[in-house]
């Protein structure tokens, strides 16, 4: 499952730099519980005022959720001025 999740994340491209979120290293602490399909990670935007943070975080969540066997995705946001707001929005989706 981890390889499929990494492949899915590699399709999420930051339009500002043209790199996928893995190569850009904005996805950290990826944890996968294969027994219950829970995935958690830390999203660390390149800038504390990143203009595409909301879009990237939603795309990361969608990409991981599309992997067979994934039942939930939990994303913690760090180094971003609107981290709390973004985390709340991600929990609603």
Phi and psi at residue 80, to the nearest 5°: -145, 130
Could you read off the pLDDT of 5-40 as tens digits, one per residue? 999 999 999 998 999 999 999 999 999 999 999 999
> Are the C-beta atoms of 74 and 40 separated by less than 8 Å?
yes
Whichever domain contains 48, its CATH number is 3.30.300.130
Cβ(52)–Cβ(24) below 8 Å: no
Token look-up 């969540």 returns: 61
Domain that includes residue 19, residue range? 2-92
Three-class SS of 75-89: EEECCCCCHHHHHHH
- Per-residue pLDDT of 53-89, as tens digits, reads 999 999 999 999 999 999 999 999 999 999 999 999 9
- Residue 76 DSSP SS3: strand
- What's the domain count of the chain? 1
Please report the pLDDT score of residue 57 as a whole number.
Answer: 97
């Amino acid at each position: 499952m981890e390889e499929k999740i990494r492949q899915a994340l590699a399709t999420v491209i930051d339009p500002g730099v043209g790199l996928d979120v893995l190569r850009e290293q904005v996805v950290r602490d990826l944890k996968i519980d294969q027994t219950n399909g829970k995935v958690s990670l830390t999203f660390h935007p390149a800038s504390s005022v990143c203009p595409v943070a909301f879009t990237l975080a939603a795309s990361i969540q969608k990409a991981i959720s599309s992997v067979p066997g994934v039942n939930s995705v939990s994303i913690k946001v760090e180094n971003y001025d609107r981290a709390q707001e973004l985390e709340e929005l991600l929990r609603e989706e």
